[in-house]
């Protein structure tokens, strides 16, 4: 199993987000910084909430919830989504999955035409791979989706509703 380091994941998906955080007027509180555990990357002090999400055959499952149950996210909060693709596939080779964020799916181009996070599509993981993704929830309240657009998976139901709340 390949575990991406947090730094690699940032390079993959979050570098722009990290820059955004650094110039934010919010910043971490002094107490959050003081409480930072040894071994954590400095940016982890910014995380408000962490969700562990399993990817398997045509499902996403947030730890503690049913498969493909909706997720509610709060505008302005910073979430760390920790994905684990546990899909070994029928012959044990591993099945790739991705998690894209948006609405208005385009099933020929295999993405969302409207992105939840500006300029960010999401994350791709091979079978057996783990990866994480940190972002601040944009001020776009309403119903959005997280879907897997690897061939056939979205159509087979690998998508969940994201409820973005103020």
The whole-angstrom separation of Cα 161 and Cα 72 is: 8
Give me the half-sphere count of Cα atoms (radius 13 Å) on the Cβ side of residue 78: 18
> Among 5-13, 34-42, 122-130, 142-150, which window interacts with Cu ion (CB under 5 A)?
142-150
3-state secondary structure of 85: strand
Query: Is 153 a binder of Cu ion (CB under 5 A)?
Result: yes
Query: Do the beta carbons of residue 81 and residue 117 sit within 8 Å?
Result: no
Tell me which of 97, 111, 116, 125 binds Cu ion, using CB under 5 A.
97
For Cu ion, the closer CB: 45 or 162 = 162
Query: Is 9 a binder of Cu ion (CB under 5 A)?
Result: no
DSSP codes of every residue in 48-79: -EEEEEEEETTEEEETTS-TT--EEEETT-EE
Tell me which of 86, 115, 158, 164 binds Cu ion, using CB under 5 A.
158
Residue nearest to Cu ion (CB): 148
For Cu ion, the closer CB: 97 or 136 = 97
Q: How far is the CB of 75 from Cu ion (least distance, A)?
A: 27
Query: Is 148 a binder of Cu ion (CB under 5 A)?
Result: yes
């Amino acid at each position: 199993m390949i575990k991406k380091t947090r730094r690699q994941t940032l390079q993959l998906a979050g570098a722009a987000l990290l820059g955004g955080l650094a110039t934010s007027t919010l910043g971490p509180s002094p107490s959050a910084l003081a409480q930072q555990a040894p071994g954590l990357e400095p940016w982890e002090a910014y995380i408000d909430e962490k969700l562990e999400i399993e990817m398997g055959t045509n499902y996403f499952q947030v730890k503690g919830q049913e498969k493909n149950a909706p997720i509610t996210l709060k505008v302005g909060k910073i979430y760390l989504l920790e994905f684990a693709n546990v899909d070994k596939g029928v012959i044990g080779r591993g099945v790739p999955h991705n998690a894209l964020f948006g609405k208005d799916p385009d099933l020929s181009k295999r993405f969302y035409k409207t992105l939840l996070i500006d300029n960010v599509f999401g994350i791709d993981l091979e079978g057996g791979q783990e990866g994480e993704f940190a972002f601040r929830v944009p001020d776009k309240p309403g119903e959005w989706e997280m879907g897997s657009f690897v061939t056939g998976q979205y159509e087979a139901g690998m998508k969940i509703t994201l409820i973005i709340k103020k």
